Amino acid sequence: MSPDLNYEDVTLIWLDENINENFDCLDTKCRLCTIVNYFKVFDNVQETVDYVQSALHEHLFLIVSGSLGETVLSCIHNEFQLKFIFVFCMNKEKHSEWTYKYEKICGIFIDKYELFHNLTAKVRIYEKSLLTISIFNRSYTTGEEHSIRDYTIEENVNLMWLEAFINILLDVPLDKNVAKQDMIAECRLYYTNNPAELKKIDEFENNYCPETVINWYTRDSFVYRLVNKALRMLNIDIIFKFRFLIIDLYQQLKQCHIDYMKSLSTIDPNKVIHTVYRCQHIGTHELEKLKASIGNMICPNSFFSTTEDCLMAQSFVAGSSSSECVIFQIDIPDSYYQNAVDTSNYICPFLKIENLSQFQSESEVIFSLGALFRIESVEKYNMWFVCLKFEDGNDELIKDFYQTDKLENQTYDWQSRCSVEDRILLLTEKFPLSSRNIINIYIKYGVFADVDGLTTAKTLTTYRKGFELLMKCLPDYHYALTIAMQLSIGLLYCNRGERFLAIQFGEEALHVAETYLQIDHECSLICYNYLAVIHQIEDQYTESLSIYEKMLSIAKEHDNSSALLAIYFDINRITCDFGDYEYEMVSLKKMVELERKLGCENLENNYYQFGSYYERQENFTIALYYYKEHFQCLLKKHACLIDLLRSYSRIGKMYEKYNHYIAALQIYIRVLLAEPITLISYGCSLLRNQISHEFIPNIKLKYNYILISQFVSNIKKNVS
């Protein structure tokens, strides 16, 4: 955490041409720094204007001298990122003449202690009111940081990644003492020049325990400011540094929520939480998004602070003339309490924290990360009211959102997962069970596309960053994650048509596997499989086959029959595509041999594969034998009618190929008569697909074509 970057919400600017290094100025700077850590000092109007106009994603508070105020405000007052202005001067009456024109001015101050008091109050209220919400709705595109995010593909992945990251923090073993010391060291580095925060950091180090986490989170301190902005902006680096505290906060909220739910039968019904409020300023265009999203879901990106007191909520609001004041009214329906049976499965706990908070008079109710709310209405009275309903996870949309990782909870093995993507996911089988779902999701969905559908350098950087954070969480699996990262990024380049880069990433992954994971031969096999597929896509048959043969050598050396079977399957596929019939037959026989060894022989598939092979060799007699056996397998397993008809038609085609026309015609007619309705729903006539152009002329020479064609024509009419 570099002191040169702002990890808090507010940036404070002080512009005064008379700033110097005398004691009073130094004292003022020190005191201002304790209020806002990220602090910029200017004595030049143009430099100030340039900075304000460049800080598009910051929340700027400006202290300006009376002599420069009117000049600088004429240039920057309407900048969206400039939130509040404080005029600090020697003559209040003189500057009252021009300050009334600017709505963002909070006051004119001649006493610095009065300035400190008002600035502190305004900063605290503003920080408290900041919130980022993701909307499950159609996309909007803007260039600013907003309090409401669009649920575009990028936001989808960001939010999914945040949820996934929190889950992995909860599940992966953590040495909290080490994590705590890491966090404290980073905070001390960031607040090097802020003695007030350094004192709080010392207090945190000496007195913190999990039971006090809510108190610390609600205090006016570095904890709230750093954690809240990191969550709101999805700054995974900072989230990781505060991982133990986020875990403690979530777990205490959940345990207290369980205790609260268990006590419902004994507490005063008036103390049951039914309605809470939150008030904040949002931009006009953001309000329009809310109005267009009625019935949809929203999800705050951080712990969500509310209060049971509507008037109290309105006191915690700070905004500007370019925004609208909105009261969010959140209803917790009776059904939530009635349906709460299994207390261990509360997904998003909430809690009234008055006894645990630093500010007990605020009647604060805090919702955990990932809470979901349905937008019920957006209406204008004396101010805008947005009515939300807390959702408890029973809604299908909510289940889909929360259970994404469960949907990805699959076992990957060499036989059942044949695509190159799934073979990469074989790496996840090596990770702790609790983290596999998270890594599966990130590998499969972690990269999002830009508006043109192309993966950009920025998204690749984000993707790589996510893997690096996974490596921090799972340091014992650093090299396996490195391989997964290289192969996943390589696939993205492959999909973009940049095959040279795709091969380069594959070779880098293979180098890691062969250098650092020699004892785990499957990592090398996965890398070789990736490279073989890339060469195959490039129609480089010789190179691809050579790699598969290298894989065979490795799998045989380690007696890995499962991998051998999968490799022979891939060899069979590539030799079939490139017409290498001799090698194709070798691979088919090896597949059957290995299936029998592993006890997973698939007679149905094998008969079909051999039939297809001999058909392409134009050995129709042997092909007919295997297709008949394939048909018998389908009959025994009571396959669906369409599969049976396909297989039976294939037999007819073999009879036709070696001129047994009567047998072929009998089969085709039986296919037509089998189930006309099914054939119609299938979309096309199997007879039309199977009968060759030469078939009818040959029939005509040997049989009474008129009678047969009339018969077939009548059948076709009936089918139609």
List the helix and strand counts (H, then E) for the chain.
34, 15
Which pLDDT score is estimated for 200?
94
Half-sphere exposure of residue 601, counting CA atoms within 13 Å on the CB side? 13
- The residue type at 285: H
Same domain, 316 and 464: no
More confident residue, 219 or 564: 564
Which pLDDT score is estimated for 281?
82
Please list, in sequence order, all residues whose beta carbon lies within 8 angstroms of the beta carbon of residue 521, skipping any fewer than 6 positions away. 554, 555, 557, 558, 560
447: which DSSP letter? Answer: -
C-alpha to C-alpha distance for 633 and 602, rounded to whole angstroms: 10
> In whole angstroms, what separates CA 327 from the centre of its chain?
29
Chosen domain end from 378, 402, 426: 402
Which pLDDT score is estimated for 699?
45
- The residue type at 298: I
Residue 715 pLDDT grade (very low, low, confident, very high; cuts 50, 70, 90): very low
Read off the pLDDT of each residue in 377-392 and give the average, rounded to a whole number.
89
Residue 319 pLDDT grade (very low, low, confident, very high; cuts 50, 70, 90): low
Same domain, 479 and 525: yes
Is 111 contained in some domain?
yes
Q: How many CB atoms are located within 10 Å of the residue 139 CB?
A: 12
Which pLDDT score is estimated for 608?
95
Which pLDDT score is estimated for 52?
95
Same domain, 438 and 394: no
Residue 401 pLDDT grade (very low, low, confident, very high; cuts 50, 70, 90): very low
Q: How many CB atoms are located within 10 Å of the residue 452 CB?
A: 7
The parent domain of residue 167 ranges over: 135-262
Of 225, 324, 335, which is closest to residue 282 (Cα–Cα)? 324
More confident residue, 154 or 338: 338
Residue 427 pLDDT grade (very low, low, confident, very high; cuts 50, 70, 90): confident
Q: What is the CATH number of the domain that holds 109?
A: 3.40.50.2300
Strand partners, 282: 324
Cα end-to-end distance, the chain, whole Å: 73
State the chain's mean pLDDT as an integer.
Answer: 81
- 463 has pLDDT over 80: no
Share of the chain above pLDDT 90, in %: 34
Q: What is the CATH number of the domain that holds 428?
A: 1.25.40.10
Please list, in sequence order, all residues whose beta carbon lies within 8 angstroms of the beta carbon of residue 145, skipping any fewer than 6 positions away. 56, 57, 233
Same domain, 236 and 271: no
Which pLDDT score is estimated for 429?
82
Q: What is the CATH number of the domain that holds 362?
A: 3.90.176.10
C-alpha to C-alpha distance for 90 and 430, rounded to whole angstroms: 69
Is 149 contained in some domain?
yes
Same domain, 258 and 270: no
Which pLDDT score is estimated for 209?
92
Same domain, 610 and 500: yes
- 533 has pLDDT over 80: yes
> What is the helix (H) or strand (E) element at residue 687, kind and residue range?
helix 686-690
pLDDT digits (tens, 9 = 90+) for 624-637: 999 999 999 999 99
Range with lowest mean pLDDT among 224-228, 292-296, 707-711: 707-711
pLDDT digits (tens, 9 = 90+) for 3-24: 678 888 899 999 998 887 677 8
- The residue type at 497: G
Q: Strands of 373-380's sheet, edge to edge?
A: 148-150, 133-135, 297-300, 373-380, 384-390, 323-331, 275-283, 304-307, 364-367, 350-352
Range with lowest mean pLDDT among 311-315, 363-367, 454-458, 476-480: 454-458
Of 306, 385, 318, 383, which is closest to residue 352 (Cα–Cα)? 306
- The residue type at 639: A
Residue 345 pLDDT grade (very low, low, confident, very high; cuts 50, 70, 90): low
Same domain, 461 and 562: yes
Is 718 contained in some domain?
no
Same domain, 355 and 240: no
pLDDT digits (tens, 9 = 90+) for 649-675: 899 889 988 788 888 888 888 877 765
Please list, in sequence order, all residues whose beta carbon lies within 8 angstroms of the beta carbon of residue 502, skipping any fewer than 6 positions away. 490, 491, 493, 494, 534
Is 497 contained in some domain?
yes
Residue 344 pLDDT grade (very low, low, confident, very high; cuts 50, 70, 90): low
pLDDT digits (tens, 9 = 90+) for 349-358: 888 887 765 5
Chosen domain end from 209, 240, 262: 262
- Count how many domains the chain has: 4
- 397 has pLDDT over 50: no
Q: For 72, list phi and psi in degrees, rounded to 5.
A: -75, -35
pLDDT digits (tens, 9 = 90+) for 280-305: 888 788 888 888 888 888 888 788 88
Is 161 contained in some domain?
yes
Same domain, 287 and 433: no
Is 309 contained in some domain?
yes
pLDDT digits (tens, 9 = 90+) for 643-656: 898 899 899 889 98
Is 541 contained in some domain?
yes
Residue 239 pLDDT grade (very low, low, confident, very high; cuts 50, 70, 90): confident
Same domain, 43 and 109: yes
| Tokens, residue 328 | 């969010």
| Tokens, residue 243 | 């991982």
Is 659 contained in some domain?
no
What pTM did the predictor assign? 0.68
Read off the pLDDT of each residue in 176-191 and give the average, rounded to a whole number.
90
Chosen domain end from 262, 293, 318: 262
Same domain, 279 and 398: yes
Q: How many CB atoms are located within 10 Å of the residue 423 CB?
A: 23
Share of the chain above pLDDT 70, in %: 78
pLDDT digits (tens, 9 = 90+) for 564-604: 999 999 999 899 888 888 999 999 999 999 999 988 889 99
Residue 465 pLDDT grade (very low, low, confident, very high; cuts 50, 70, 90): confident
Residue 321 pLDDT grade (very low, low, confident, very high; cuts 50, 70, 90): low
Q: What angle do CA 118, 124, 129 make, to 5 degrees?
A: 125
- 169 has pLDDT over 80: no
Same domain, 628 and 492: yes
> What is the helix (H) or strand (E) element at residue 331, kind and residue range?
strand 323-331
Angle, helix 433-445 to helix 478-495, in steps of 10 degrees: 20
Which pLDDT score is estimated for 498?
86
For the chain, the residue count is 720
